[in-house]
Amino acid sequence: RVEHSQRAMFDGQVHDVDEAAKAVQIIRKELELKTGLKLQKVAVAAAGRTLCTETGKALREEAFPMRWEKQDVLALEMEALQEAMAKTTSAEMDSSYPYCVGYSTVKQELEGQSLTSLVGQRGKKAEIKVVATFLPRTVVDGLVAVLERAELEMASLTLEPIAAGQAAIPPDMRRLN
């Protein structure tokens, strides 16, 4: 943990890229000394004070029953995610294109019956509902700018509560949505 010498961030938004990058460089050097490894890629957990959460759903009906494979389910999830993104308004996103920082499938149905997973199931009509969280592009761009100054690359991005949950809650108890 390193404190900034002056306030570089407000409510999760980078306001001073150089100052925030100095703190990241200090932490990077300490971690590299401790581990003996050179850090190049990092996972980022954003505060998300200006986030927007929306739901989306997608329905697909085939002429004949089919076996729903992983790629079919993923395609339905992406359709639902696009619907959720379309619901975000420019006012909520500060007139910038929203960046999806996480989504969770909250409902999967086959032939009107709720299932835990569609993968491997057989039927004609499938529906998926997701809840998705978006950050304004400016927030993400600020984080990327800090990492670039610290000569690091973002490998993944999530929200702090999601990261904390993944670290503290066992996988079989995470279906809290």
**Per-10-residue mean pLDDT, the chain, length 177:** 79 84 92 94 84 92 95 96 84 66 91 94 96 87 93 91 84 66
Predicted pLDDT of residue 175: 62
How far from 171 is each of 79, 105, 114, 118, 137, CA to CA, in Å? Answer: 26, 15, 21, 19, 30
Predicted pLDDT of residue 136: 84
Predicted pLDDT of residue 7: 80
**Which pTM does this prediction carry?**
0.72
Strands 98-110 and 122-136: antiparallel
> What own/partner pairs with CB < 8 Å and gap ≥ 24 does 9-17 have?
11/47, 11/49, 11/50, 12/46, 12/47, 12/48, 12/49, 12/50, 12/139, 13/49, 13/50, 13/138, 13/139, 13/142, 14/139, 14/142, 14/143, 14/145, 14/146, 17/142, 17/145, 17/146, 17/149
Predicted pLDDT of residue 112: 94
- Supply φ then ψ for residue 61, to 5 degrees: -125, 125
| Encoded amino acid at 73, one letter | V
